[in-house]
Amino acid sequence: MKNFSKKITVLSLIAGAFMSTAAMADNVKVNVNGMVCGFCAQGITKKLTKTDAVEKINVDLESKIVSFSVQKGKTLDDEAIKKLLTEAGYTVVSIQREKP
């Protein structure tokens, strides 16, 4: 019975660690070519807000960086990000993700 209790404890710790990691939102920074004006920033913001996974969008025209957070419990893979921005008329140079 003691070994069974230890196994349950270990499994609970592993499951808890996995769930807390999965629940954390990604902070995404995308280097984008082709952005030159406020209308570009507005168009990118509009395109990204169409997906329910994205929040807190910031478009920095000077550094050519679009940054946003992916909501907790939601996913948005790199290919989907590339597709959204390519459809909006821009070129994705790189994508970086960070956990908060």
Q: Domain limits at 83? A: 24-98
Per the listing, tokens 């710790």 go with 13
Q: Is residue 61 part of a domain?
A: yes
Q: Is residue 46 part of a domain?
A: yes
At residue 24, the pLDDT reads: 52
| Torsions phi, psi for 32 (to 5 deg) | -125, 130
At residue 62, the pLDDT reads: 96
Instruction: Report the predicted TM-score, pTM, of the whole model to 2 decimal places.
Output: 0.73
Q: Is residue 60 part of a domain?
A: yes
Q: Is residue 49 part of a domain?
A: yes
* DSSP reduced 3-state for 26: coil
CATH number for the domain spanning 83: value is 3.30.70.100
Q: Is residue 50 part of a domain?
A: yes
Query: ∠20-22-24 over CA atoms, to 5°?
Result: 70
Number of domains in the chain: 1
Per-residue pLDDT of the chain (100 residues; tens, 9 = 90+): 555 444 444 434 444 443 333 445 699 999 999 999 999 999 999 999 999 999 999 999 999 999 999 999 999 999 999 999 999 999 999 999 998 7
Question: Which residues, other chains included, contact 37 with Cβ-Cβ below 8 Å and sequence gap of 6+?
Answer: 61
